[in-house]
Every structure is written in C-alpha cells, then in structure tokens.
C-alpha cells in the first residue's frame, strides 16, 4: 500500500511513449527515481518494461520476444482478445502494468502487491502480436463483492468504446460466477461517467426486450449489476413510477431517444460464446 507522503507527491513524469503513441501522463507514478527525471519514459508495449531513452527501448525491442500479454487467453472475438493473468505468477509484468496505469489513476490506493489480484487485459491483435488497449484488476476474494478493483483504457485508446467493452466483460465474468458485482469505490469522474452510461444502456435494453413486468430484482439477476446500482440508475433516469401503491419501471421519451443515439454508434460488444472461462476455484 502507499504511504501518505507518496499519495501527496506531485506528478513526476511528463510523457510516456508506447508503440507509435506518445501521451501526456496525468498523475504521479512510483517508477524508480532514476527513470522519472527524463523528458519522456519509453515503454515496451509488449513486456511493459521501461527505458529512459528511445535508443535503449530500440535496443530492447530487438531482443524482446514477448508478443502478447502473459496468462491465458480466455476470450477471442474478431481482433479483440482478453487474457487472464494471475498477479502472483506474473509479478513483473503485473507490477509494470500497475506502474503504467498509476500514471492515469489517482483517486484511490493502487496496490503494488499484485498477489491478491487477477488482471484481465484486453488486447487488439495484428500481425505483430496482441497490443494492450486496457485492463481491469479484480480481487481474488472480495468481501464486498466488487467485480472490478481498477479499470483503465490507455489514453491513446479512450473514448472509442473500449471502456464499455471492459465493463461489459467484467459483468460477463460475474454472470458466470452466479454473482452480482459492482466496481470498487470511490469511482473517478471518468469511471462514474462510463459506469452510468453502461448501466443505463444495459437496463434500458433489458426493458425494451422484455414483454412482462420486470422488477429491479429481475434486472439485477439478469445483468449481474447489484440492486443498488440498478435502483440508482432508474432513479437518475426518472424511470421509477408509483401507481396505486405499487412501483413500476417506465421508459420515458428522453431515455428512449438517448438509447437510440447510443445504439446508432454500433460499438463493439462482448460475445459471451467467445468467452472460455470457468470461475477460479
């Protein structure tokens, strides 16, 4: 865990370069000090190793044999794959991932002891290999039934629907576990926006595709979204109506119009049949 002084530390890196992307960092990340006072940190997009110069990265790339994230490929659909990685078995790779993601995550403690976590890494495949787009971590045992600890889309890939895909995947795992899940709190602003959008879309879609009356409870059980998140979403969308002492879920024009606009974007979706996974025992 982090010390207080570490939390308060100011941003120590300006830029990172990964593959063909150069991005500005957002927050402090505890890379070793000798790497942080450089103009730009060069990161191998396959093993996530880091280098203080482009020259050193290039020299590394000639030797680096890694072409995809470690662990098991548990999902493959079109060019998107998910890898399940045990933080205890792949310590170096997972620690490097945490260092990288800390550059864009600020609001909560990030655990540098990776042992208690599984990492679900989403990658896009091409001729050169499987390139990391984003990931989420998940506690092996969560007392609060959190199904996501930290979630990140690398900045160079944000706002193109990949975050939604990560979130959808996390709930697909919960369905296989026969559990309801919720992300770890607190959420960042971006995290909250993305989850709200996902919850709203999922609930509205469920209502549109069900003929009979459906309760908050039914929606929770079918989507693996915990009751509280379903309820808050329905309240926020003004869909909770009372009539003669009974509660009903009612779609309104505003919600339907928004849903229509979202669906027109034709974003990638998770295809459950492409997930080959059993809950770890």
Which residues are CB-contacts of 41 (< 8 A; sequence separation ≥ 6)?
13, 15, 16, 17, 31, 35, 50, 51, 52
Considering only residues 226 through 265, tell me which ones interact with ligand ACO, judged by CB under 6 A: 262, 265
Contact partner, 236, from ligand ACO, Zn ion, none, Cβ < 5-8 Å per class: none
Closest to 229 (Cα-Cα) out of 271, 267, 185 = 185
Considering only 16, 18, 47, 224, the residue that binds Zn ion (CB under 5 A) is: 47
Angle, helix 253-264 to helix 189-208, in steps of 10 degrees: 100
Using CA atoms, how far apart are residues 115 and 91, in angstroms rounded to an integer?
A: 8
Rounded (to 5) percent helix, strand, coil in the chain? 35, 25, 40
The values of phi and psi at residue 223, to 5°, are: -105, -10
23 contacts ligand ACO (rule: CB under 6 A): no
The yes or no reply on residue 64 touching Zn ion (CB under 5 A) is: yes
Residue 184 annotated as catalytic? yes
Minimum CB distance to ligand ACO, residue 268 (Å): 9
**Interface stretch with ligand ACO, choices 14-22, 190-198, 239-247, 271-279 (CB under 6 A):** 190-198
Residue 64 binds which entry of ligand ACO, Zn ion, none, CB below 5-8 Å type-dependent: Zn ion
Rounded least distance, CB 245 to ligand ACO, Å: 35
Active-site entry in 45, 84, 172, 184: 184
Helices (H), 120-226: 162-176, 189-208, 216-223
Which three-class secondary structure state does DSSP give residue 252? coil
State the binding partner of 191 from Zn ion, ligand ACO, none, CB within 5 to 8 A by kind.
Answer: ligand ACO
Comparison of 116 and 129: residue with beta carbon closer to Zn ion: 129
Sign of the Cα pseudo-torsion (262, 174, 231, 228, in order)? negative
The answer to whether 231 and 216 are in contact (CB under 8 A) is: yes
Closest residue to bound ligand ACO by CB: 163
Please state, in angstroms and as integers, the Cα–Cα distance from residue 134 to each residue in 18, 94, 156, 163, 202, following that order: 13, 13, 10, 8, 21
How far apart, in whole angstroms, are the C-alpha atoms of residue 230 and residue 199? Answer: 7
Q: Is 138 in the site for ligand ACO (CB under 6 A)?
A: no
Residue 98 binds: one of Zn ion, ligand ACO, none (C-beta under 5 to 8 A by kind): none
**Between residues 57 and 203, which has the closer beta carbon with respect to ligand ACO?**
203
Q: Of these, 47, 152, 207, 249, which contacts ligand ACO (CB under 6 A)? A: 152
* 160 touches ligand ACO (CB under 6 A): yes
Residues that bind ligand ACO (CB under 6 A): 104-105, 148, 150-153, 158-164, 183-184, 187-188, 190-191, 193-194, 197, 262, 265
Q: Report the interface residues with Zn ion, using CB under 5 A.
A: 44, 46-47, 49, 64
- Residues annotated as part of the active site: 184
């Amino acid at each position: 865990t982090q010390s207080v002084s570490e939390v308060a530390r100011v941003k120590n890196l300006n830029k990172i370069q990964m593959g063909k992307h150069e991005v500005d960092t957002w927050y402090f990340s505890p890379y070793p000090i000798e790497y942080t006072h450089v103009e730009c940190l060069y990161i191998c997009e396959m093993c996530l190793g880091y280098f203080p110069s482009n020259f050193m990265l290039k020299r590394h790339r000639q030797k680096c044999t890694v072409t995809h994230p470690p662990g098991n490929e548990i999902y493959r659909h079109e060019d998107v794959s998910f890898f399940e990685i045990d933080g205890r078995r792949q310590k170096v790779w997972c620690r490097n991932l945490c260092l990288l993601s800390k550059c864009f995550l600020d609001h909560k403690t990030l655990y540098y002891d990776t042992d208690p976590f599984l990492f679900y890494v989403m990658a896009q495949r091409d001729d050169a290999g499987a390139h990391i787009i984003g990931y989420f971590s998940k506690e092996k045992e969560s007392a609060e039934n959190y199904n996501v600890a930290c979630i990140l889309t690398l900045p160079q890939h944000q706002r193109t629907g990949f975050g939604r895909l990560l979130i959808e995947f996390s709930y697909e795992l919960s369905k296989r576990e026969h559990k309801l899940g919720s992300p770890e709190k607190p959420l960042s602003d971006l995290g909250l926006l993305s989850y709200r959008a996902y919850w709203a879309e999922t609930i509205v879609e469920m209502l549109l595709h069900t003929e009979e009356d459906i309760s908050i409870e039914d929606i929770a059980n079918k989507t693996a979204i915990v009751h509280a998140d379903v309820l808050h979403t329905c309240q926020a969308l003004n869909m909770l109506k009372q009539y003669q002492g009974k509660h009903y879920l009612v779609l309104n024009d505003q919600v339907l119009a928004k849903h229509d606009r979202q669906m027109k974007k034709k974003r990638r979706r998770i295809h459950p049949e492409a997930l080959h996974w059993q809950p770890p025992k």
